[in-house]
Chains A and B, each alone.
Chain A
Amino acid sequence: MRIFLEQFLNGLTIGSFYALVALGYSMVYGVMKLINFAHGDLFALGSYLGYTVLVIGAGWITQVLGVWGGVAVALTAAMLGIGIAGLVVERIAYRPVYKAGRLPLVVSALGMSIFISNGIMAIWGPRFQAYPPDAIPSAILSFGDIKITVIKLVTLIVSLGLMALIYWMVEKTLFGAAVRATALDRDTATLMGIDFRKIILFVFFVGPALGAMAGVFAGLNYGRIIFNLGWTYGLKAFTATILGGIGNIPGAMIGGLLLGVMESLFEGFVSGAWKSVFVFLVLIAILIVRPTGLIGEKVAEKV
């Protein structure tokens, strides 16, 4: 039981990273019908930005503002920075290629992904970088014989809270309705007076910013980061997106959390080495039964 609960919590934590990154994939896909392969690398870049904030001047920010203050600054800086990076990526790598069709867009996205991950390597080096231990809140809470680090608890609360906020924003506000309407039918949305260019800016800012948050939290939880972090997380998050049904906001969250928990439980009770195989097999099985994911809409092509 203890193992189950611990693995479940671990799964929720990593699942919340997947979910945050998956949200970015899904938002961009929903509006643009584009798989932003560079998204995973923006996540990694976010992690490095947070790292940089925490190591500047030998941890100056942490010294001045305290551990939690440092964490807050790192999160904010990474989210803002990566949000802007998302807009830049859209502007230089996607907007000029939209007209050329889907396949060139995929290659452009892959190119951007390679560019960013190798850019990280060029700047911060090919080896693992460690988040400074002084900057990571180190308290541990115990509930009976279950131990949980405070940072993990905060990660969960903040991630789930932010997801709830995004959910509320997209599903419950007029602005969110405008985003969903644009994703469904751009022409009719225009008739309502919605400027789809603004919606594009929104998804390319908010999606990467959420990813950056996950990136910083991943660094804080696991301590070390590496330049190609984006590939592994990005791939899992993309899987989660498809699992939930791409273009669907609640789908991405559920897909991400589900994937994380499944993976962790499988790791805890069956085998760590085979967990990814298990995840992909589940994905394939689900797609065979439900070709558009768990919550995906039915798409029928009109003939």
Chain B
Amino acid sequence: MADVTRKVTQRILNSQKSRKMPVKIAPVQLVLLAAVIVLLIAFPFFPFVNNYWIDVGFFVGIYVLLGLSLNIVLGEVGLFDLGHAAFYAIGAYTTGILYVKLHVPILALLPISAIVAGGFAYLVTSPIIHLRGDYLCIVTIGIGEIVRITALNNPFGLTNGPNGVTGIGNPDLGLFAIRTPTHFYYYIWVIIALVIIGLLNLQKSRVGRAWNFIREDEIAAEANGIDVRSYKLLAFVLGAALAGIAGNIYASKMMVISPDNFTFMESCLLFCIVLLGGLGSIPGNMLGAAAIVIFPEIFRQFASYKLLFFGAALVVMMIFRPGGIWPRRREGVGFRGLGISGLPKDENEFLLKIPKEAVLVPHGADPAQSTTVKAEVAQEKTINNIVLETQNVTMQFGGLVAVNHFDLKIREGKITSLIGPNGAGKTTLFNVITGIYRPTTGKVIFMGKDITGLKPHTIIAKGIARTFQNIRLFPSLTCIENVMSGPHCHAHSGTWSSILRLPVQKKEERKILEIASYRLNQVGLWEYRNELAKNLPYGKQRLLEIARALATSPKLLVLDEPSSGLNDKETEELMEFLKSLITEGFTLLLIEHDMNVVMGISDWVTVMDMGSKIAEGPPSEIYNNPRVIEAYLGKEE
């Protein structure tokens, strides 16, 4: 490895000695957590608490559950869902109808309601999941209304129209039935406790991170190996299933459900819970739900004004605390915020202990299960040392030909630069290679295989990683979390193994952290690991993006103007660093405007102008090529 990297590492490690490390779990938080649990358990026994207030406690629970369920969709993934009451309704009606018509026991209906609601969500959202922001919003509103009106219209005599389904039974545990307000109170809070444990595990796992990546930047997520569509659907299905559970519990408590319980207003309230609490924050959610239920209770004597105050309170809240009451804090909590077990207390110790072979896995192999140590990244056969080849690629947008019959060859272990004046079509070609565009004609061959038209997240798993011209990080996630998106595409643990924290999942998580830590340190950003990406200075953000790309263990690294926005010194360091990557076994393709960089480090330069190749060769040849000079400086008058 190049000297620089070592020097950088040394510098970083030195600088860290002065920094305090947050290693222990703050005792205050533990005490607080214990206090909340004790309070919740003891609540029904407080002297002033009558059955009315116990029921309020139950309804807070229902809204906590609903808030948590919407939080998956809206908070974790950022999907604009204003029709969530639909899934709640599906759960409640499933319970009501199946109990009344077929006498299925209420408890058995708990999972059934969840499955039906989840299945319904899958069916209705899969055709529309690609819609953006406001369009998705109106469609979810539409789904909410369709479900409510359907229930109102009493199809096949199932829903009993506006009167609703009546005569729903209470849950029966066999030994005793859940009947009194106190029973229900404990019943829902036990379920909430289980759900929260599961959600916490999920939040701090590969799945939860993938959701957050999508929320932060969908395109960057896709380009870093996240299957955006599947994860969005998963969020809807899980969120709907949880809402279905809430529906079941609600139905069994009220013994009657009607369309009035599932209005657009209800969906709006859920939306407000999530935002009042703070996006993606579980404690925030609980506070938000409590606020929504208790606020109107406190203003009960002003009956007709209570919602007036509530509306005003929402506005005031958003003016003064737009991030919510208790936003999820990510920065400064250290690695323990990642929820990975068995880490040493000192994060530096963790870094130093990373076995080198853990990082240098051949791409495409499973880092968690790979036992064979490979020092070299390259494993696949390359034909004549060609890693990537575009054959006759043409990309048209309407009448505009952005890339015109372009052939590009990239040789293994070399730095190839693609240069050309602004608007020459470089970035377009780039987007064709990385799968964002499908070429109008022509093929992209990678390691001897045709990858034309594959989705970006598939291409990255095959070994092509990229960075973006305008830097697309996940701004509100920490640096280490950003880099942890890299190994995602080679890992496998899914929803259940994450919720249950299976040993194989724990091992995989650790591996992901090892790779991410290694790469973060390699670019010299280890000391910033727990800072939010958006708080880094621009030059460091560039490096972070490169670290993230490296963490996918690519064969080919494609960099779009890596030096833009860097100062001279940073550019110099970047060049050294890029050269060091070659010795590590990577192959590089650069789009670059800074000719100093191009001429300084390229092995091969391809020049593009007006979508076509006008020259290629080693830098010294290109520098004196009259056509290139003409393309850059213009024609001699």
A and B touch in the complex (CB under 8 A): yes
Taking beta carbons and an 8 Å cutoff, which residues of A are in contact with B? 29, 35, 92-93, 96-97, 100-108, 110-119, 121-122, 126, 231, 235, 238-239, 242, 246, 273-274, 276-277, 280-281, 283-284, 287-288, 291-293, 299, 301, 303
Q: Are B314 and A284 in contact (CB under 8 A)?
A: no
A-B contact pairs, 15 of them (CB 8 A): A104-B318, A107-B276, A107-B314, A107-B318, A108-B319, A112-B315, A115-B312, A122-B308, A126-B304, A235-B145, A238-B141, A239-B142, A276-B149, A288-B127, A303-B427
Q: Are B308 and A104 in contact (CB under 8 A)?
A: no
Q: Are A281 and B146 in contact (CB under 8 A)?
A: yes
How many Å lie between the Cα of A114 and that of B314 in the bound state?
9
Contacts of B134 in A (CB 8 A): 29, 35, 242, 246
Quick one: CB contact mask for B272-316 with A, threshold 8 Å, 1 for yes? 100110010000000000000000000000001101101111110
How many Å lie between the Cα of A287 and that of B127 in the bound state?
10
Contacts of B308 in A (CB 8 A): 114-115, 118-119, 121-122
How many Å lie between the Cα of A126 and that of B273 in the bound state?
26
Contacts of A293 in B (CB 8 A): 135
Taking CB as reference atom, which chain B residue is nearest A279?
A: B142
Contacts of B137 in A (CB 8 A): 35
Q: Are A115 and B149 in contact (CB under 8 A)?
A: no
Contacts of A301 in B (CB 8 A): 219
**B187 touches A (CB below 8 Å):** no
**B262 touches A (CB below 8 Å):** no
Interface 9-residue window, one of B41-49, B193-201, B263-271, B493-501? B263-271
How many Å lie between the Cα of A104 and that of B134 in the bound state?
14
Q: Are B311 and A231 in contact (CB under 8 A)?
A: no
Taking CB as reference atom, which chain B residue is nearest A96?
A: B319
Q: Are B322 and A274 in contact (CB under 8 A)?
A: no
Q: Can you list the 3 inter-chain pairs with the closest CB atoms, starting with the nearest?
A: A111-B314, A115-B311, A100-B322
| Interface-centre pick from A105, A114, A116 (highest chain B CB count, 10 A) | A114
How many Å lie between the Cα of A42 and that of B142 in the bound state?
22
How many Å lie between the Cα of A101 and that of B476 in the bound state?
13
Give the interface SS of chain A, mostly helix, strand, loop or mixed.
helix
How many Å lie between the Cα of A122 and that of B312 in the bound state?
14
Q: Are A231 and B145 in contact (CB under 8 A)?
A: no
**B459 touches A (CB below 8 Å):** no
Contacts of B264 in A (CB 8 A): 231, 235
Q: Are B138 and A277 in contact (CB under 8 A)?
A: no
Give the contacting residue for B131; candidates A35, A92, A119, A291; CB below 8 A. Answer: A291
Contacts of A292 in B (CB 8 A): 135
Taking CB as reference atom, which chain B residue is nearest A274?
A: B153
**B97 touches A (CB below 8 Å):** no
Q: Are A107 and B275 in contact (CB under 8 A)?
A: yes
Contacts of A114 in B (CB 8 A): 268, 307-308, 310-311, 314
Give the contacting residue for B318; candidates A100, A117, A277; CB below 8 A. Answer: A100
How many Å lie between the Cα of A110 and that of B275 in the bound state?
12
With A287-B135, A303-B219 in contact, is A111–B318 under 8 Å at CB? yes
Q: Are B127 and A110 in contact (CB under 8 A)?
A: no
Q: Are A115 and B315 in contact (CB under 8 A)?
A: yes
Taking CB as reference atom, which chain A residue is nearest B272?
A: A107
| Interface-centre pick from B132, B138, B219 (highest chain A CB count, 10 A) | B138
Q: Are A97 and B318 in contact (CB under 8 A)?
A: yes
With A97-B318, A122-B304 in contact, is A303–B468 under 8 Å at CB? yes
Q: How far is the CB of B430 from chain A (nearest CB, A)?
A: 9
Number of interface residues of B (CB under 8 A): 50
Q: How far is the CB of B436 from chain A (nearest CB, A)?
A: 6
Taking CB as reference atom, which chain B residue is nearest A296?
A: B135
Q: Are B313 and A111 in contact (CB under 8 A)?
A: yes
Q: Are A112 and B319 in contact (CB under 8 A)?
A: no
Contacts of B272 in A (CB 8 A): 107, 110-111
How many Å lie between the Cα of A277 and that of B277 in the bound state?
33
Taking CB as reference atom, which chain B residue is nearest A301?
A: B219
Taking CB as reference atom, which chain A residue is nearest B306?
A: A118
Contacts of A288 in B (CB 8 A): 127-128
Taking CB as reference atom, which chain B residue is nearest A243?
A: B138
| Interface-centre pick from B127, B272, B312 (highest chain A CB count, 10 A) | B312
Contacts of B128 in A (CB 8 A): 284, 287-288
Contacts of B78 in A (CB 8 A): 103
Q: Are B146 and A280 in contact (CB under 8 A)?
A: yes
Q: Are A104 and B152 in contact (CB under 8 A)?
A: no
Q: Are B146 and A277 in contact (CB under 8 A)?
A: yes
Give the contacting residue for A118; candidates B142, B305, B315; CB below 8 A. Answer: B305
**B431 touches A (CB below 8 Å):** yes
Give the contacting residue for A280; candidates B142, B275, B310, B322; CB below 8 A. Answer: B142
Contacts of A103 in B (CB 8 A): 78, 275, 279
Contacts of A113 in B (CB 8 A): 311
Contacts of A231 in B (CB 8 A): 264-265
Q: Are A280 and B314 in contact (CB under 8 A)?
A: no
| Interface-centre pick from A101, A118, A274, A299 (highest chain B CB count, 10 A) | A118
Contacts of B143 in A (CB 8 A): 280, 284
How many Å lie between the Cα of A131 and that of B199 in the bound state?
53
How many Å lie between the Cα of A108 and that of B321 in the bound state?
11
**B6 touches A (CB below 8 Å):** no
**B150 touches A (CB below 8 Å):** yes
How many Å lie between the Cα of A93 and that of B314 in the bound state?
10
How many Å lie between the Cα of A114 and that of B132 in the bound state?
26
Q: Are B271 and A107 in contact (CB under 8 A)?
A: yes
Known A118-B307, A235-B264, A274-B153; further 17 A-B contacts with Cβ < 8 A? A93-B315, A104-B322, A106-B271, A107-B275, A108-B319, A111-B317, A115-B315, A118-B304, A118-B311, A122-B304, A122-B308, A242-B135, A246-B134, A287-B139, A288-B127, A291-B131, A301-B219
Give the contacting residue for B149; candidates A116, A119, A273; CB below 8 A. Answer: A273
How many Å lie between the Cα of A212 and that of B178 in the bound state?
52
Q: Are A291 and B135 in contact (CB under 8 A)?
A: yes
Give the contacting residue for B268; candidates A110, A116, A242; CB below 8 A. Answer: A110
Q: How far is the CB of A283 from chain B (nearest CB, A)?
A: 6
Contacts of B307 in A (CB 8 A): 114, 118
**B130 touches A (CB below 8 Å):** yes
Q: How far is the CB of B138 from chain A (nearest CB, A)?
A: 4
How many Å lie between the Cα of A281 and that of B265 in the bound state?
20
Interface residues of B in 103-157 (CB under 8 A from A): 127-128, 130-135, 137-139, 141-143, 145-146, 149-150, 152-153
How many Å lie between the Cα of A35 and that of B431 in the bound state?
33
Q: Are A110 and B271 in contact (CB under 8 A)?
A: yes
Contacts of B271 in A (CB 8 A): 106-107, 110
Contacts of B219 in A (CB 8 A): 301, 303
Q: Are B132 and A112 in contact (CB under 8 A)?
A: no
Q: Are B315 and A273 in contact (CB under 8 A)?
A: no
With A97-B318, A303-B436 in contact, is A242–B311 under 8 Å at CB? no
With A107-B271, A281-B146 in contact, is A92–B138 under 8 Å at CB? no
Contacts of A104 in B (CB 8 A): 275, 318, 322
With A93-B315, A108-B314 in contact, is A273–B131 under 8 Å at CB? no
Q: Are B318 and A280 in contact (CB under 8 A)?
A: no
How many Å lie between the Cα of A233 and that of B520 in the bound state?
54
Taking CB as reference atom, which chain B residue is nearest A116?
A: B311
Q: How far is the CB of A157 from chain B (nearest CB, A)?
A: 30
Quick one: CB contact mask for B436-461 with A, threshold 8 Å, 1 for yes? 10000000000000000000000000
How many Å lie between the Cα of A231 and that of B144 in the bound state?
14
Contacts of A35 in B (CB 8 A): 134, 137
Give the contacting residue for A111; candidates B80, B312, B323, B427; CB below 8 A. Answer: B312
Contacts of B431 in A (CB 8 A): 303
Contacts of A303 in B (CB 8 A): 219, 427, 431, 436, 468
Contacts of A239 in B (CB 8 A): 138, 141-142
